[in-house]
């Protein structure tokens, strides 16, 4: 599984073989079966996690017990709770596997050392953080100003690579609409030329 992460790095940056080795030596491969947790609410998140295979979701559970999905991740995406990571406080989120998955984990303290020691790697990670920030700004705008239809379209655009791998109930939870509303939107969309 590490090969997928190695390929990801090779596609994006140039590393000497020593640099590539030192990244590999810090990595931990973890298999997570469908419905198993990578992170549970109340635990502190201390990793940087790259998804090598499968699909995971980040969600919170409100006082009434309803799940609210903050985001999904598949192969070649990063996932985690940056707030808990940086604050050292228990996470308010759960991350579990939507499908059988494999992740490449790095203890954050080691990861930070790698980012400093290997500037190209640090820059790559910084770019990913910036892109994540932009994506979350866009999600705020969508949540505030989009109709349910527009939210669904934006979702399909963002997650085009794997929307068909997700149960409709999870897509509805991500969009903040009921499964019935989602079903109506899908019907209307399929009728359009």
Q: By CB under 8 A, name the binding residues for a copy of itself.
A: 60, 62, 66, 68-70, 82-83, 86, 92-93, 126, 129-134, 136-141, 143-145, 176
Nearest CB to a copy of itself, comparing residues 140 and 190: 140
Smallest distance from the beta carbon of 93 to a copy of itself, in angstroms? 8
Smallest distance from the beta carbon of 143 to a copy of itself, in angstroms? 4
Residue 180 three-state SS: helix
Under 8 Å between Cβ of 30 and 102? yes
Nearest CB to a copy of itself, comparing residues 1 and 179: 179
Nearest CB to a copy of itself, comparing residues 47 and 93: 93
State the Rg of the chain over Cα: 18
Q: How many angstroms separate the CA atoms of 81 and 70, rounded?
A: 11
Smallest distance from the beta carbon of 33 to a copy of itself, in angstroms? 26
Q: Which residue has the tokens 């406080």?
A: 89
Nearest CB to a copy of itself, comparing residues 51 and 142: 142
Smallest distance from the beta carbon of 175 to a copy of itself, in angstroms? 9
Alpha helices in the chain (DSSP H): 2-12, 17-26, 82-87, 108-117, 119-145, 148-158, 168-175, 179-191
What token pair was written down for 122? 């640090």
Smallest distance from the beta carbon of 141 to a copy of itself, in angstroms? 6
Q: How many angstroms separate the CA atoms of 23 and 61, rounded?
A: 35
Q: How many CA atoms lie within 13 A of 65 on its CB side?
A: 0
Nearest CB to a copy of itself, comparing residues 52 and 58: 58
């Amino acid at each position: 599984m590490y090969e997928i992460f190695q390929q990801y790095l090779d596609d994006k940056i140039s590393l000497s073989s020593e640099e590539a080795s030192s990244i590999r030596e810090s990595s931990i491969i973890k298999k997570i079966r469908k419905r198993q947790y990578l992170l549970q609410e109340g635990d502190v998140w201390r990793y940087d996690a790259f998804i090598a295979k499968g699909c995971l979701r980040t969600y919170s559970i409100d006082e009434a017990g309803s799940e609210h999905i903050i985001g999904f991740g598949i192969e070649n995406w990063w996932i985690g709770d940056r707030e808990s990571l940086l604050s050292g406080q228990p996470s308010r989120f759960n991350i579990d596997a939507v499908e059988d998955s494999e992740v490449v984990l790095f203890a954050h303290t080691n990861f930070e050392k790698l980012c400093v020691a290997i500037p190209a790697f640090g820059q790559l990670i910084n770019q990913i953080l910036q892109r994540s920030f932009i994506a979350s700004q866009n999600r705020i705008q969508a949540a505030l100003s989009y109709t349910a239809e527009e939210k669904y379209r934006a979702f399909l655009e963002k997650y085009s690579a794997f929307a068909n791998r997700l149960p409709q109930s999870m897509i509805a939870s991500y969009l903040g609409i009921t499964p019935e509303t989602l079903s109506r939107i899908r019907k209307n969309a399929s009728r359009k030329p």
